[in-house]
Structure 1
Amino acid sequence: MRYVPCLFSLAAHTLICFSCSDASSNWACLKPVKCGENENHCVTTYVGVGLGGKSGQSISKGCSPICPSAGINLGIAAASVYCCDSFLCNISGSSGVRASSTLLALGILVSFFFVLRARE
């Protein structure tokens, strides 16, 4: 009997992630893509900005060979990079870093204080 190597084991390690670029909502980021051989992580990048009554966000998703994970929240702006390594694991639009309404209001009040004080 002849031995035939199993090719299915290679296909089982292929990662599939959601992918999009600069989408304004997570609903626009639900397109699955097959990652390359050296791409072992799914990555989600979230950037949100809010000032007064106006706000905006940008979400990007895809495959990556490295796993960057970072976040910053400055009150009026927030950014996060989240990675994971399982089938379609980057379904969420962000990893919990959002611009805080309380910090936004505090930032605006402090700005007004400095503007009024500069006029004196």
Structure 2
Amino acid sequence: MKTLCIALFVGIVCIGKANSLWCYRCEDEPSNWNCMKMVKCAETDKFCTTTINSSGKDKNISYRLSKKCVPTCTENFIDTGLGSISTKCCENSLCNFSGANSVKMSTAVMAVGTLASLFYIFRSGL
């Protein structure tokens, strides 16, 4: 009987932990190193997010990161030419670890696409 009670207790504790979402949290930080604080999300929160704001041009680009728990999430990427805002969503504990890589990757993908388009236009003689 004692063994059954212990097994039941362990099962309840494990189920409770499995349903808890943990995310990294920070607000308007210049570096991902400042965004390593882990927080337990509210029961209503289902996503971890990372939002990256960039501003400036060329070598004068600055990044500001925010990470948090949210109940709903919509991924987006907006580039105004003078800056960009990117929001990434994920549903697993501590999945919002990464920082500015997503903005840099999106910019790199856009640059490669633009260069490929220009190459095609010049090669076809249009």
Counterpart of 1:89, as a letter, is: C
SS in structure 2 at match of 1:7: helix
Structure with more helix by fraction? 2
* Structure-2 separation of matches of 1:59 and 1:67: 16
TM-score where L is the length of structure 2: 0.69
Contact 2:51 / 2:87 at 8 angstroms: preserved in 1? yes
**1:104-119, aligned counterparts within 5 Å?**
none
Which residue number corresponds to residue 71 of structure 1? 77
CA contact (8 A) 1:76 1:100 kept: no
Which residue is 2:27 aligned to?
21
The 1:43/1:100 distance shift into structure 2, 3 A limit, reads: closer
In the alignment, structure 2 segments of 5+ residues that lack a partner are 112-126
Give the paired residue count.
Answer: 103
One-letter amino acid of the counterpart of residue 30, structure 1: M
Between the aligned partners of 1:95 and 1:82, the Cα distance in structure 2 is 11
Unaligned runs of 5+ in 1: 104-120
Q: CA deviation at 1:100?
A: 5.1
| Aligned pairs (5 A) from 1:67-106 | 67-94=73-100, 96-98=102-104
TM-score computed with the length of structure 1 as normaliser = 0.72
Higher relative strand content: 1
1:7 aligns with 2:12: yes
**Counterpart of 1:90 in 2: which secondary structure?**
coil
Secondary structure at the residue paired with 2:45? Answer: coil
